[in-house]
Amino acid sequence: ANSTGRAEVLCALFYFLGFVIYAQTTTARRHSIFVPFVCVMICTFASMLCKEHGITLPIMCIIWDAYLHTQTSLSEGFFLLFQKNNQTNTMTTKESSYSSRRKKVCCYFWVRTALFVLAVGGLALWRWNKNGNSEPDFVCEQNPAACQTNGWTRFINYSYLWSFNFYIILMPEGA
């Protein structure tokens, strides 16, 4: 039995479950911050317990939120966040309503982003503490390329692995 394969499948399950929950709750037109945040952080924690790269789930949610849900760029989001409300004198009622709605969406986005950054920082510190406040130890029998002292040998080994995996993606029957 391949226990590494099971860990990757569980990590992917929690990762996609958290992303789908976040996508569904943020597009529901209810500007709740608490429910999507808690759901994503539970799934992030479960995903991170399976594999360390599960901690990137909130980053994926922020990227999705910025470009698909709020439909704004980062510069426009900053502009809307710090825009004064006295500019509505020259706008019509419809434009003013649209502008205030956009500002509200961007403000909720920045609050969610700040919460995610703080929570991911906390999870990363917790994980670092559980690791004994040190980098992971590599076992040379499991990863001989990582233990090579010659940088050129490591480069050739890793380049081969990337090339071979890319080939498998393009030609799955040929491998």
**What is the per-residue pLDDT across 63-109, written as a single tens digit (0 to 9) for each?**
888 887 777 666 676 676 666 655 545 556 665 666 677 777 777 88
Tell whether the model's pLDDT for residue 2 goes beyond 50.
Answer: no
pLDDT the model gives residue 73: 66
The first and second tokens of residue 111, run together, are 């609050």
Please give the C-alpha separations between residue 13 and each of 19, 36, 37, 51, in angstroms, as whole numbers.
10, 17, 18, 11
Percentage, residues of the chain above pLDDT 90: 24
pLDDT the model gives residue 174: 64
Distance CA 136, CA 70 (A): 38
pLDDT the model gives residue 1: 41
Tell whether the model's pLDDT for residue 8 goes beyond 70.
Answer: yes
Q: What is the pLDDT of residues 108-146, one digit of tens each?
A: 888 888 999 999 999 999 988 887 877 766 678 777 877
Angle at which helices 93-130 and 57-64 pack, to 10 degrees? 170
Amino acid at position 107, single letter: C
Listed range (16-20, 29-33, 60-64, 103-107) with the worst mean pLDDT: 29-33
Tell whether the model's pLDDT for residue 5 goes beyond 90.
Answer: no
Helices of type H across 51-90: 57-64, 74-81
Distance CA 175, CA 172 (A): 6
pLDDT the model gives residue 95: 59
pLDDT the model gives residue 34: 81
**157 CB burial (10 A radius; 0-12, 13-18, 19+):** middle
What's the average model confidence in pLDDT over 30-44? 83
Please give the C-alpha separations between residue 14 and each of 41, 60, 122, in angstroms, as whole numbers.
10, 13, 19
Distance CA 82, CA 90 (A): 18
pLDDT the model gives residue 16: 95
Q: What is the overall mean pLDDT for the chain?
A: 80
